[in-house]
Amino acid sequence: MHGELPLMTEENLKVTELEKKLKKKEDELERLRKENESIKRSNLELKEEIFQFKGLVYSSTSLITFLKGPDYIIEFANKPIKEVWGKGYDVEGKSLFDVLPELHSQGIKEYLDQAFYKGEPFHARSLPIEHDKNGEMVRYFFDFSYMPQYNYNREIIGVGVIAQDITNRKRAETELKESEHRYREMIHSSNSLIAILRGPEMIIEIANDAIKEVWGKGANVEGKSLFEVLPEIVDQGMPEIFRTVYETGETVVAQESPIMHLKNGEMVLGYFDFMYQALKDSSGEIEGVSVIANEVTNQALLNRQIKKSEREFRELVNFMPHKISLTDTEGVPVYYNQSWLDFTGKSFDELLSESYLDMVHPDEREFVENEVERCLSTEENLDIEVQIRNKDGNYIWHLAKATPIRDEEGNITSWISSSTEIQKLKEDEKRQEDFLKLVSHELKTPITSIKGYIQLLLASLPDDNRDTEKRLPIKPYLNRVETQVERLIRLLSEMLDLSKIEQNELELKIEKFNLNSHVREILEDLKYSNRNVQLELEEDFSCEVHADKDRIGQVIINFVTNALKYSPDSNRVQLKIFEPEKGHVAVSVKDFGIGINEKEQNQIFKRFYRISGNKDDTYEGFGIGLYLSNEIIERHNGKIFVKSELGKGSEFTFTIPQNHQK
Amino acid sequence: MAKILIVDDDQTIGLMLKDILEFSGHEVVASMEPKKTKENIGKHGVELILLDKLISGVDGTDVCKSLKEDEAYSHIPVIMMSALHNVGDICKEAGAVDFLAKPFDMDALLQKIELILEKQPDSSRT
């Protein structure tokens, strides 16, 4: 080719032709290479896209699965759906209904078929599905979408499932509904009267049966204004109350509020405890008023009854002439009635601020204080006579009594005391006693004289006077007169002793003496004046005693004269001195007379009691001998008792301590 | 037997006592005036006194005390009397040698007088 001119030869032409073909191939190859690169690139992009998409599906909180073919083979399921299924993570390649056989009976296949065969997507909300969790069926709620899946040729090859587990939301909703239901149920079944009123017009939103019954306007009141339903309360100040609550948010409470309302078609007066409270929405705005009320008509009427009764009793207590006071459990006065104020000339507060002891006569304060203390601690009634100072400063005799007031459990809650003026009674009593004393004293003078002369006469008459005796039995007659004078003297001293007991003047003169010789002396005297009587003395014990010699003698004489008196057919009386227990001595007097029946045995130591019997009339005396004896022995801290059998006789015994103790 | 002064405002008792005591051989002066007791003692040479506790408003114990406080009369025994039983101690405290409760026994009265007179050291009994 060097130095030679290119020649258009046949050979040259062929080469050129080939070169052209090669160039074309090369161009095509280049295009293919480029195409290949583009495909590679788009393949990569597709892979990335799928990867991203898969990642989205996997990481989604929605439940996602792809089911392939008419057997719904799980081609893919994300983690959340596997967790709901609870059958592990290796479920791909298996039929959905093999993995979750519990779905068979729940109509799921119909939904899937709808999407698979008809190509219709199926959406369901709040679909309940039960899953078998280790043998326990647990109910879930889902929002579902079943969507047909297509291949490249627009043929359906499976169903895609996207679901949301709304079980928790559903449960919360149910609970809320139930709670609201319960709340409404509670309101309606409550015995309290409940209503909820909305807005400034007080539209009744809720009114329970109880309040409707009291309103008496039937069942259909909801949606109406309260004042439209109950026009009768408008004049009773109710709108103002509601307005206040509604406008200020204040709670208004009313107790035992009287309200006229309709009941069975009649206007009646009822009493109610009310509470009106503002109802606020979640932002704190007042949107209405709630009414909670309780009918307390019975209680209110009872309270009024109690108040009325209390007022009446207070009037009664103040009207009484007796001085009435109340003290607390410690004995401190808390109330004085009008009579106390009138008597002392002091005000109620003045009386309460002073000690009640200040009103008591100074000589009696200690006694009164001790008695009150004793009653407070023993819970016994107080019953004393005491002098209380009046407004003029004079001390007036009162009979003061107090008794505890107890609650249902029996605990003392207070003491009520009543003081009654007995000044006149005391004075009368004193006059009577003085008179009695005077009478017996005055009678004693002539009797002393009579007795003296009888004894003088008896002494002056010669013992041996048989001749004159036959004509004129002066001595026996005088003896009889003397006996009756003695009897008169005994009666007089009994009367005096009785008045002494009544006036608490029976004082003992304690001295030491030999009881045995004293009894012997008494018996000698008695024998002297009762010559036909057989008096026997048995001395089992001998002792000196500290006692009132005369009074003890009096008891023994009383026992013996009683024994003789009630032994009309026997003249035998047995006395015995013995030691009933260490430090004590007893004297008993036994007769064989008419005896005393059991019923009367308890009575005979009472004042003026006399044994009843056939020969009643012949038993002399006032019937105070044993009463007096009992008093005397009691004052010696001794005991007196009787053993007796009707028709067989009686045995009277007294025991006293050998050493007298006050 | 002794000379006895009876001081009692009650004439009946005074007379009765006079009769009894005279019957028993005593000499008796009866007085209704307690204030003249000392005078009567001096006038009649009294050896024993029977004195009532309450004589026309005068307390016999005061009379007794005034006698006992007076040396000229303190040696004369006084027996006091009363219709009240429980005043014996008061009378004895006032200086009475004994006490008689009315109504009394004649024998008891005479016995007491006998005993008291026996004990008198300076007996002027006849």
The CATH number that applies at residue B97 is: 3.40.50.2300
**Domain count within chain A:** 5
Burial (Cβ within 10 Å: 0-12, 13-18, ≥19) of residue A3: exposed
| B111 touches A: beta carbon within 8 Å | no
Q: Determine the distance in angstroms separating the CA of A454 from the nearest CA of chain B, rounded to an integer.
A: 9
pLDDT at A661: 67
Res. B125: pLDDT tops 70: no
Residues whose CB is less than 8 angstroms from the CB of residue B110 and which lie 6 or more positions away in sequence, other chains included: B20, B24
Q: Is the pTM of this model over 0.80?
A: no
CB contact under 8 A, B23 and A456: yes
Does residue A36 fall inside a structural domain? no
pLDDT at A652: 94
Does residue B43 fall inside a structural domain? yes
The two tokens of residue A654 are 């007294």
Q: Determine the distance in angstroms separating the CA of B87 from the nearest CA of chain A, rounded to an integer.
A: 11
Best mutation target, B16, B21, B23, B84, to test chain A (most A CBs within 10 A): B16
pLDDT at A436: 78
Are residue A213 and residue A295 in the same domain, yes or no? yes
Nearest CA in chain A to B20: A456
Are residue A354 and residue A397 in the same domain, yes or no? yes
Q: How many CB pairs under 8 A join A and B?
A: 57
| B80 touches A: beta carbon within 8 Å | no
pLDDT at A615: 45
Are residue A516 and residue A649 in the same domain, yes or no? yes
Are residue A256 and residue A225 in the same domain, yes or no? yes
Q: What domain range includes position A436?
A: 427-497
Q: How far apart are alpha carbons A508 and A554 in whole angstroms?
A: 12
**Domain count within chain B:** 1
The two tokens of residue A590 are 């036994």
| Cβ proximity of A406 and A414 under 8 Å | no
Place of tokens 């009674």: A425
Are residue A520 and residue A545 in the same domain, yes or no? yes
Number of neighbours of residue A94 by Cβ within 10 angstroms = 15
pLDDT at B124: 47
Among A473, A497, A521, the domain boundary falls at: A497
Are residue A132 and residue A207 in the same domain, yes or no? no
Chain A neighbors of B84, CB-CB under 8 A: 441
Q: What domain range includes position B71?
A: 3-119
CB contact under 8 A, A448 and B107: no
pLDDT at A345: 93
Query: pLDDT under 70 in chain A at which residues?
Result: 1-8, 464-470, 607-623, 661-662
Residue A594: in which H helix or E strand, if any? none
Does residue B13 fall inside a structural domain? yes
Does residue A24 fall inside a structural domain? no
pLDDT at B123: 46
Q: Determine the distance in angstroms separating the CA of B13 from the nearest CA of chain A, rounded to an integer.
A: 6
Q: Determine the distance in angstroms separating the CA of B70 from the nearest CA of chain A, rounded to an integer.
A: 30
Alpha helices (H) along A338-422 = 338-344, 348-353, 365-378
Chain B neighbors of A504, CB-CB under 8 A: none
CB contact under 8 A, B83 and A441: yes
| B108 touches A: beta carbon within 8 Å | no
pLDDT at B107: 85
Residue A280: in which H helix or E strand, if any? strand A266-280
Does residue A400 fall inside a structural domain? yes
CB contact under 8 A, A444 and B85: no
CB contact under 8 A, B12 and A460: no
Q: What is the CATH number of the domain that holds A621?
A: 3.30.565.10
Does residue A26 fall inside a structural domain? no
Nearest CA in chain B to A447: B103
Best mutation target, A433, A442, A443, A456, to test chain B (most B CBs within 10 A): A456
Are residue A473 and residue A603 in the same domain, yes or no? no
Chain A neighbors of B104, CB-CB under 8 A: 448, 451-452
Best mutation target, A439, A444, A448, A529, to test chain B (most B CBs within 10 A): A448
Q: How far apart are alpha carbons A617 and A217 in whole angstroms?
A: 89
| B21 touches A: beta carbon within 8 Å | no
pLDDT at A607: 66
Torsion angle, alpha carbons of A600, A602, A607, A612, to 10: 10
Q: How far apart are alpha carbons B50 and B32 in whole angstroms?
A: 12
Does residue A150 fall inside a structural domain? yes
Burial (Cβ within 10 Å: 0-12, 13-18, ≥19) of residue B61: buried
CA A302 to chain centre: 19
CA A469 to chain centre: 91
| A483 touches B: beta carbon within 8 Å | no
Q: How far apart are alpha carbons A560 and A591 in whole angstroms?
A: 9
Q: Where are the beta strands (DSSP E) in A480-605?
A: 510-514, 534-539, 544-548, 572-578, 584-591
Are residue A212 and residue A291 in the same domain, yes or no? yes
pLDDT at A7: 62
| Cβ proximity of B96 and B51 under 8 Å | yes
Backbone angles phi and psi of A616, in degrees to 5: -45, -50
Does residue B10 fall inside a structural domain? yes
Does residue A18 fall inside a structural domain? no
CA distances from A11 to A7, A232, A248 (A): 9, 132, 118
DSSP structural state of residue A457: H
Q: How far apart are alpha carbons A338 and A246 in whole angstroms?
A: 51
CB contact under 8 A, A489 and B106: no
Does residue B124 fall inside a structural domain? no
In this complex, which of B85, B89, B106 lies closest to A452 when CB atoms are compared? B106
**Closest C-alpha to A614, from A641, A590, A593, A592:** A593
CA distances from A91 to A72, A75, A98, A138, A357 (A): 12, 9, 10, 20, 103
CB contact under 8 A, A460 and B23: yes
Does residue B126 fall inside a structural domain? no
| A529 touches B: beta carbon within 8 Å | no
pLDDT at A220: 87
| A438 touches B: beta carbon within 8 Å | no
Are residue A167 and residue A211 in the same domain, yes or no? no
Are residue A352 and residue A331 in the same domain, yes or no? yes
Cis peptide leading into residue B103 (ω within 30°): yes
CB contact under 8 A, B106 and A456: yes
Are residue A515 and residue A651 in the same domain, yes or no? yes
CB contact under 8 A, B10 and A493: no
Does residue B18 fall inside a structural domain? yes
Number of neighbours of residue A45 by Cβ within 10 angstroms = 10
pLDDT at A465: 63
Does residue A3 fall inside a structural domain? no
| B93 touches A: beta carbon within 8 Å | no
Best mutation target, A455, A503, A508, to test chain B (most B CBs within 10 A): A455
Are residue A277 and residue A380 in the same domain, yes or no? no
Q: What is the CATH number of the domain that holds A107?
A: 3.30.450.20
Among A146, A172, A198, the domain boundary falls at: A172
Does residue A178 fall inside a structural domain? no
Q: Give the tens place of pLDDT for each residue, B26-61.
A: 999 998 888 888 888 988 889 999 999 887 778 899
- Rounded (5°) CA angle A141-A147-A152: 155
In this complex, which of B23, B103, B107 lies closest to A447 when CB atoms are compared? B103
B126 pLDDT band, cuts 50/70/90, is: very low
CB contact under 8 A, B19 and A456: yes
Among A394, A421, A448, the domain boundary falls at: A421
- Rounded (5°) CA angle B14-B19-B21: 90
